[in-house]
Amino acid sequence: MPGPNYVLDKGFGFSAACPAWYVVTQTGKETAAVAGSLGADPLGICQENLLAGDAAIVAGKRKADVRMMGISRVVVDAAYALGTYVRAAADGRVTALAAATANQTIVGRLMYASAAANDQVDCWLMIGTKHTVP
């Protein structure tokens, strides 16, 4: 994965751990947390590996960059083909859109295939776009 791929990153405060490349949702003014439900409304992708101790040291004041536009790595929950549209999984990874489901909130589109769960894949971000799988 040569070279930087960012377009828009913004710092958000976290009060708990947040692994790098996981989907996050907004929890308040300039605060975010790992997406905790399937299809959660995504804010972006955490760009740093924020450990629990990092957040606790400063009582939620620790900021991490969140990619909101551009291309970001994401962590997948299974093997997927190139071009798969993904949404937030219940644990902050990304998962494929569900078949025959209307108006799913997209995180983005995978730029190459993944071989297994927990692979890191580049994703063209389409944060908040709605999509219906036929």
Q: Where are the domains of the chain?
A: 8-131
How much is the pLDDT for 106?
A: 94
How much is the pLDDT for 7?
A: 84
| pTM of the predicted structure, to 2 decimals | 0.90
How much is the pLDDT for 77?
A: 97
Each residue's pLDDT expressed in tens, for the chain with a length of 134 residues:
555 667 899 989 888 889 999 999 999 988 899 999 998 999 999 999 988 776 555 554 568 899 999 999 999 999 999 999 999 999 999 999 988 788 899 999 999 999 999 999 999 999 988 888 77
How much is the pLDDT for 59?
A: 52
The answer to whether 24 and 35 are in contact (CB under 8 A) is yes
CATH superfamily label, 8-131: Head decoration protein D (2.40.300.10)
Torsion of CA 49, 119, 36, 40, to 10 degrees: 120
How much is the pLDDT for 105?
A: 92
The answer to whether 53 and 67 are in contact (CB under 8 A) is no
Q: 22: part of which helix (H) or strand (E)?
A: none
